[in-house]
């Protein structure tokens, strides 16, 4: 029998679609884990998502080699409604077990019956991997349920996902301050580059000001920019001036994006968070040749940066 005339081609497409969707679902779940400040679960989901892509490719290649240009199927696929990481782990485990115990064995049986031994072998091999996926998700779901993701009853090895250092203890060590600061610095720099400010002299000053505020748990509107600059620089006046110029640049950049396209993502995300909106409006009008420039508000910008960093 040709693959083109078989039921197996439909099963291959069902499997390809299932793996592709699993990859996306796990990538979305990884994002939610990141938002929940659980990088270890983010890694678990991303690691597994990468493997689902490989599975999808195996099935896709069979369809390609069989010259199946267009395949029509009806099938059911899950939508994972909850947003809690533990629930997502439990649901993922369930989907994996279904593939392992039910779907792929039956696809393998059909492929054998239709004379596609190689396809059958792949369905069986991948079914075994899905079992490992289910076990992995269950392991982490259990740790979450028992509140043991970061503590253990016995001495155990804790690996740093950043540098690979392993520490033996009953509890995961806190992220070292230097590492935390480095992560914050990178994140702030990324935001400034999105705002077209990374090349400005004052960009570094803004990062330093934000880091100081984060460390002290304060806001620029409480402390005042002058006092902060005095802590960081021998020449606080010029530091403040550089930073303000960088903010002017950011205001211009964001306003330009808004003039080009009011739905621009960077414009919609940052214009309201980092700048007084009336100033963005004024700057947009200025770019369009109407009226005076918007005013850069450094205090407002710094507090906006802190709030945006908190959101991520």
List residues near Fe ion by CB under 5 A.
19, 52, 55, 96, 130, 133
Considering only CA atoms, which of 290, 297, 262, 249 is closest in space to residue 276? 297
Q: Which one, 19 or 208, has the nearer CB to Fe ion?
A: 19
Whole-number minimum distance, CB 133 to Fe ion, in Å? 4
Query: How far, rounded to the nearest angstrom, does the alpha carbon of residue 254 sit from its chain's CA centroid?
Result: 23
Whole-number minimum distance, CB 30 to Fe ion, in Å? 14
Whole-number minimum distance, CB 117 to Fe ion, in Å? 21
Q: How many CB atoms lie within 10 A of CB 150?
A: 13
Q: Which one, 18 or 304, has the nearer CB to Fe ion?
A: 18
Whole-number minimum distance, CB 90 to Fe ion, in Å? 14
Instruction: Say which residues have a Cβ less than 8 Å from residue 137's Cβ, sequence separation at least 6.
Output: 44, 48, 89, 90, 92, 93, 96
Enclosing H/E stretch for 119: helix 117-145
Whole-number minimum distance, CB 253 to Fe ion, in Å? 43
Enclosing H/E stretch for 26: helix 8-35
> Which tokens hold the place of 23?
């990859």
Q: Do the beta carbons of residue 51 and residue 33 sit within 8 Å?
A: no
Q: Which one, 125 or 288, has the nearer CB to Fe ion?
A: 125
Q: Which one, 14 or 55, has the nearer CB to Fe ion?
A: 55
DSSP state letter for 288 = T
Strand, helix or coil for residue 219? coil
Q: Which one, 139 or 216, has the nearer CB to Fe ion?
A: 139
Exposure string (b/e) for 157-196, b if CB count within 10 Å is 16 or more? eeeeeeeeeeeeeeebeeeeeeeeeeebeebbbebbebbb
Q: Which one, 33 or 213, has the nearer CB to Fe ion?
A: 33
Q: Which one, 114 or 130, has the nearer CB to Fe ion?
A: 130
Considering only CA atoms, which of 23, 22, 4, 14 is closest in space to residue 107? 14
Whole-number minimum distance, CB 15 to Fe ion, in Å? 8
Whole-number minimum distance, CB 100 to Fe ion, in Å? 8
Longest Cα pair distance anywhere in the chain, in angstroms?
Answer: 82
């Amino acid at each position: 029998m040709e693959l083109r005339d078989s039921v197996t081609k439909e099963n291959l497409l069902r499997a390809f679609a299932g793996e592709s969707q699993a990859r996306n679902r796990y990538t979305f779940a990884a994002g939610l884990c990141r938002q929940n400040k659980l990088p270890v679960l983010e890694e678990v989901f991303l690691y597994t998502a990468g493997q689902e892509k490989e599975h999808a490719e195996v099935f896709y290649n069979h369809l390609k080699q069989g010259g199946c240009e267009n395949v029509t199927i009806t099938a059911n696929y899950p939508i994972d409604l909850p947003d809690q990481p533990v629930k997502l782990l439990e649901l993922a485990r369930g989907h994996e077990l279904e593939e392992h115990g039910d779907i792929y064995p039956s696809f393998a049986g059909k492929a054998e019956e239709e004379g596609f031994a190689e396809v059958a072998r792949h369905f069986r091999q991948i079914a075994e991997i899905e079992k490992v996926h289910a076990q992995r998700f269950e392991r982490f779901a259990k740790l979450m349920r028992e509140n043991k993701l970061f503590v253990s009853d016995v001495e155990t090895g804790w690996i740093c996902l950043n540098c690979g250092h392993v520490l033996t203890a009953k509890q995961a060590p806190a992220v070292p301050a230097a590492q935390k600061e480095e992560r914050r610095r990178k994140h702030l720099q990324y935001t400034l580059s999105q705002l077209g400010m990374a090349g400005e002299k004052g960009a570094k000053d803004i990062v330093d000001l934000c880091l100081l505020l984060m460390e002290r748990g304060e806001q620029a509107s409480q402390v005042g920019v002058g006092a902060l600059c005095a802590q960081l620089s021998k020449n606080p006046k010029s530091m403040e001036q550089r930073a303000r110029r960088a903010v002017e640049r950011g205001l211009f950049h964001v306003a330009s994006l808004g003039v080009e396209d009011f739905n621009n993502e960077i414009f919609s995300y940052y214009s309201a968070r980092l700048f007084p909106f009336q100033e963005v409006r004024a700057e947009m009008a200025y770019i369009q040749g109407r009226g005076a420039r918007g005013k850069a508000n450094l205090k407002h910008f710094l507090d906006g940066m802190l709030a945006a960093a908190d959101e991520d």
